[in-house]
Structure 1
Amino acid sequence: MGKSFGIIMLDTAFERPVGDVGNAASWPFPVMFETVKGATARTIVDGRDDDFLDAFVAAGVELERRGACALTTSCGFLVLRQNQLAARLKLPLATSSLLQIPQVARLLPAGRNVGVVTYDRASLTKAHFLEAGFATESPVAGLPKGGAFHRLIEGGQPYDRPVLEKELMDTVEDLIAREPSIGAIVLECTNLPPFSEAIHKRFSLPVFDILTLGRWLHAGASGG
């Protein structure tokens, strides 16, 4: 089965089906979780997480102690803390699926761009792209404010897969209609990978998410 992969989790309580970063069955190798108490999704998305930096470091240290070979997180907005956290941890750390954007962009034909789907468009700034190693902003679409994903993650509503899938597909469709040059999709939100295959099938585009990044990182950190 290989070495374990460590996942630093926000303090949330919604359902996580297979495909979600927080479901152990989403991964083809052993994973372990460590929750940062009090770190809510909205706190991290809004960038009001200065008071939690030490706690994120402590979670990474604990996962290292438990035998993890590398680390990731359960929120793509933590890319803003990539350099700060990586500098204080001994294990390789990939905070966000957004770290894949520079590599994906290099793989695309001339004139094609990486499209990003995010949990909150207003909160995803140029600073996030810079921390991800991408000098310019990609075309971005955000999930609807107050929509099904927001009600699930922040409002405690039940998991309704058909409604969530429709909302996400509509968001991707709108993004591609607005930006027809898109040649690949990166999903910022770690709760979207359960729908990655459906996006690929419907739009015939490569899709990258926290699972594609985590599998790559684990392969290198575990020796294959």
Structure 2
Amino acid sequence: MISQSSGMLGVLELDEGLSECTPAPREGSLLNPATFGLPILTEIVEGALAERVIRGDPSLEGACVTAAHKLVERGASVIVGDCGFLIRHQDAISAAVDVPVITSSLLLIPILLRQLAPAKKIAVLTADTRHLGEELLGVQNARDRERLVIGGIEGGIYMRNTLARPLVRTDLEQIEHEVGECIEQLRGQYPEVAMLLFECTGFPVVSKALRRKTTLPIYDITDLCALTLNAVLGRTPT
């Protein structure tokens, strides 16, 4: 557990048009204080509708920087994005604030590739493969790129609900089914897959269950958050 007296996690939240009866964040969610054992601060990125963030609207960069500044002013020690596609604004946000910025779990890719034998592959699971371009993977070496396979759940119920206004909360079982089915398809096509990386920040709520089912290592945004928070804040003595 992270020391609660040392700082807070600041989340750049999408402008999702949530209702006043928004349910509490689920176990394992990026927005659940219990996930990291410390307070969570949120700032809505004005105009950051899911479809705009996913397709990569460059005009959102200023709003991301503004929200990041507000989070730091409120006491955030680390800034994280509530959508992996915010990685497009990583450089601008990190240049604007004096705390670590981790916009996406995709930042882990170069490190994770080195964890596996050269013959093994990593499957990157995203909400929408149509907008996960090469430029977001952070991989320059052609051999490393060949070791990445991309799978997505566009067209499913989860994405339909995510793009709805106001946002519709998808059943946990449905998320697990859609992501699990995508994993099965990728593993069938690429038996060399030995690790999974979840780009979507909505997937960590099923990471635990899918680790058990797949018996594969699964990384998501909460793992990168925990690593960064531990480095910045330190762990509570045991």
Compared CA separation, residues 176 and 220, structure 1 to 2 (3 A): same
Contact kept in structure 2, 1:80 and 1:128, CA below 8 Å: yes
1:10 — aligned with what?
14
Q: Which residue of 1 aligns with 2:231?
A: 220
Q: Which runs of 5+ in 1 are unaligned?
A: none
Which residue of 158, 172, 180 corresponds with 2:183? 172
- Whole-Å Cα distance in 1 between the matches of residues 197 and 107 of structure 2? 10
Instruction: Say which of 127, 144, 156 aligns to 2:154.
Output: 144
- For the residue of structure 1 that corresponds to 2:114, the secondary structure is helix
Cα RMSD, aligned residues only:
1.7
Cα shift readout 1:1-37 (whole Å, capped 9, x = no counterpart): 2321111111113754222223333332222111112
In 1, distance between residues paired with 2:173 and 2:185? Answer: 18
CA contact (8 A) 2:126 2:153 kept: yes
Write the deviation string for residues 126-178 of structure 1: whole angstroms up to 9, x where unpaired: 01113xx5642620101131x12112211244432222211111011111111
Count of paired positions: 220
Q: How many angstroms does 1:66 deviate by? A: 1.0
2:64 is equivalent to residue 76 of structure 1: no
| Alignment correspondent of 2:36 | 27
Counterpart amino acid of residue 87 in structure 2: V
**TM norm structure 1:** 0.92
Corresponding residue of 1:207: 218
AA aligned to 2:83 is: C
Work out the CA distance in 2 between the residues paired with 1:27 and 1:41: 25
Instruction: Measure, in 2, the Cα distance between the counterparts of 1:129 and 1:168.
Output: 20
CA-CA distance at 1:104 after TM superposition: 1.0
User: Identity of aligned pairs, percent?
Assistant: 28
Pairing partner for 1:113 from 117, 121, 138: 121
Larger radius of gyration: 2
User: How many Å apart are 1:221 and its aligned residue?
Assistant: 1.5
Which secondary structure state, in structure 2, belongs to the residue aligned with residue 117 of structure 1?
Answer: strand
Cα contact 2:53–2:86 (8 A) shared by 1? yes
Q: Answer yes or no: is the 8 Å Cα contact 1:4–1:68 preserved in 2.
A: yes
The whole-number CA distance in structure 1 between the counterparts of 2:195 and 2:157 is 24
C-alpha distance in 2 between matches for 1:26 and 1:143: 25
TM-score by length of 2: 0.86
Letter in 2 for 1:39: A
* Contact 2:158–2:174, Cα closer than 8 Å, also in 1: no
After the TM superposition, which segments of 4 or more aligned residues of structure 1 sit over 4 Å from their partners? none
Shift of 1:41: 0.8
